Chain A
Amino acid sequence: MSDIAANYTKEKKVGEGTYAVVYLGKQVKTKKLIAVKEIKTGMFKDGLDMSAIREVKYLLELRHENIISLLDVYSSENGNLNLVLEFLPCDLEVLIKDKNIVFQQADVKSWMLMILRGVHHCHRNYILHRDLKPNNLLISPTGEIKIADFGLARSLGSPGENLTANVVTIWYRAPELLFGSRHYTSSVDVWSVGIIFAELMLRTPYLPGTSDAEQLEVTFRALGTPTEKNWPNVSKLPWYNSLKIYPPPTRNELKNRFIAASGSALDLMISLTQLDPAKRCSCEEALQTVYFTEFPRPTKPKDLPKKSS
């Protein structure tokens, strides 16, 4: 151990969640803005929260331009753990909800590209994020998407290991999770990315269920009910029972729902939201589709729409 002069200031409280308080501050040397996430601990919290452990564990090692960087880990005077993160003033949900902003096709493409690159980086390091949603996709002052909130992340389970199905906010939850599967892979994140893609085009949540049961209903009404025919062995999953059978949507129906989507955009969305996780594409495959190489070119991050204030 050695004494190091003060590095950061903590200035203003900007938010509070169940397990952390977030402050705005500065890196003293560079005057750069930072966010400090102070983890609450205490008798009733059973020690250090597991989300904090996960966040520290994965963010300390992941370095990517589309993933939030964890600059430092501190324990402060009061014994609480502090995570110093880069400061990101906006998130994708804010932009989606801001009706004063018009999204161009090229903007959506640019965001999708950055999201997929970030998620791909997690997956190639065998890390599942498990909570992808617009509100966890933060936006830097220069317009870059940064994937944040690794509180539910975990490394890919080894075969035979049981994982919990109770992950991902329900609107973005893949069907295998809705069926209570204890074994799943990075394809759960791919599904979330597909639903976010749909939301970027619709400007409203694509599958907004209000409960676990209704989420199944909403999901399958939009994308068809999985059967043994299009998803072998699906009926063996724990919560697969007494489902109302909806036919899968035809391409035309999807075309009508996503009016502005080009053919290749629709293709990409369809392969991201395949019901059978084995048929869903990987991030790598998604990044190599024609959608990203055809015109229009993705907007440069600095030219993307910003929060109107």
Chain B
Amino acid sequence: MADQQYFKSSVQISRPFLTSKAVKFLQKKTIPDYQTYKQRISHVLSFLLSLTRLLKFPSRTLESAMLYYQRYYLFNHFSTSSNIDVAIAALFIASKNEDTIKKLRDIIAIANPLRNAPNTNEAIEENKKVILNFEKKMLETISFDFRTYHIDELLIRIAKDLKLSVDLTYLAYMIAFDSFQTEVSLKTPQHATAIACIIIAAKFREENSVFPLNSAKYKCDRALVNEALFEILELYINNYNYGSLADMYPNDKESFIKIRINIKNEINLKDLDERSLLNDGFYNIKNYNVSDTGSARYMLGNQEKRFYEEVDAQENYKESTEPKKVKLH
């Protein structure tokens, strides 16, 4: 056949959750100044929150956008000159994936006044190009993995099952909102985070009837819950003013420190060692040239077995042709 063409390709598997060390390892490569990045996250959250409100998006769209934003900067260089464009791209993808779609033009037209940018026709067109470019990169970064779960949905179901008061559930819900600016969504699945939010709320209010809380009932490993607990408490301990609880309880930072001290001996997840991170191709910074010159293939975790079979086959092939090899897991 005359116009027959071959795919030359690389393959990338989606890993929705990473360990703390893996996250740090990646951020060290992509983020020159972590302090600035952290401050920006809180700013991005409030920017996207205002945008979400004006566009009448539900909070799940905001939640996904924050996840995509943070995930993007695990594999792409962070810079304060473009991070708001990246945030808008994240919200745009989230709006598609959460079935709350709006035209990109409309999103930009509402976003521009919020960020004090010019809002002329030309400016919007120019902006659209920039954001669509980020969209493409972001989709590749998330490996076209569109599975989503939401903390608040699960939180409310678990709270109902535990017969928590509306008041306590509301507090847990606010904590869940604050968790959007932590890195918890990169590390633990949403049901673990939801349980962690309930635990923090109950400990803070000293509602001890909630305990002992059996997370296994919700198909959740206790170590995962603890991982989420540590992550969220870190926000309240180190940056209390960034969270929304600071408005509700301005003088209560100490109680979070106390909660943290009381659980310091709890086990959290086993982490990877540095060597396995260095040797795993997954943790390389995104190289878009691969998909520019050849093509890139994407898989979900449910195809992991096939992924490693293919990679091993490739490794064996390489071994026979060249002396040096890089192992992938």
Contact = CB atoms under 8 A, between A and B. Distances in A.
Interface of A: 1-12, 28, 41, 43, 46-48, 50, 53, 56-57, 60-61, 72-77, 79, 81-82, 154, 158, 161, 163
A74 B5 CA distance: 15
A15 to B, nearest CB: 16
B10 A3 contact: yes
Contacts of A10: 4-5, 7
A7 B9 contact: yes
Nearest to B96: A50
B223 interface: no
Interface residues on B, range: 35 or more
A1 B328 CA distance: 8
B101 A50 contact: yes
A5 B104 CA distance: 37
B165 interface: no
B295 A74 contact: yes
5 contacts: A1-B296, A5-B317, A41-B136, A48-B135, A50-B101
B294 interface: yes
B119 interface: no
Contact of B147 (A28, A50, A57): A57
A168 B296 CA distance: 33
Give me the 4 closest cross-chain CB pairs, A-B, nearest first: A57-B146, A6-B6, A76-B295, A73-B298
Nearest to B128: A43
B275 interface: no
B302 A61 contact: yes
Interface in B129-154: 129, 132, 135-136, 139-140, 144, 146-147, 153
A6 B11 contact: no
Contact of B290 (A1, A5, A8, A81): A1
Contacts of B35: none
Given A47-B92, A154-B99, A53 B146 contact: yes
B98 to A, nearest CB: 10
Given A1-B290, A77-B294, A79-B292, A47 B135 contact: yes
B104 A9 contact: no
Among A28, A46, A82, chain B packs the most CB atoms within 10 A around the CB of A46
Nearest to B297: A74
Contacts of B92: 47
B297 A79 contact: no
B157 to A, nearest CB: 10
A77 B293 contact: yes
Contact of B328 (A2, A5, A60): A2
B96 A48 contact: yes
A6 B7 contact: yes
Given A47-B92, A57-B147, A1 B12 contact: yes
Interface stretch (B173-181, B197-205, B213-221, B279-287): B279-287
B248 interface: no
Contacts of B139: 48, 81
Interface in B64-122: 92-93, 96-97, 99, 101, 103-104
Contact of A8 (B7, B135, B284, B287): B7
A132 B291 CA distance: 35
B300 interface: yes
B132 A43 contact: yes
Given A53-B146, A81-B144, A2 B10 contact: yes
Contact of A12 (B1, B101, B132, B310): B1
Nearest to B5: A10
A28 to B, nearest CB: 8
Contact of B146 (A7, A43, A56): A56
Contact of B11 (A2, A53, A81): A2
Contacts of A1: 10-12, 281-282, 284, 287, 290, 296
Contacts of B262: none
A2 B310 CA distance: 10
Contacts of A81: 139, 144
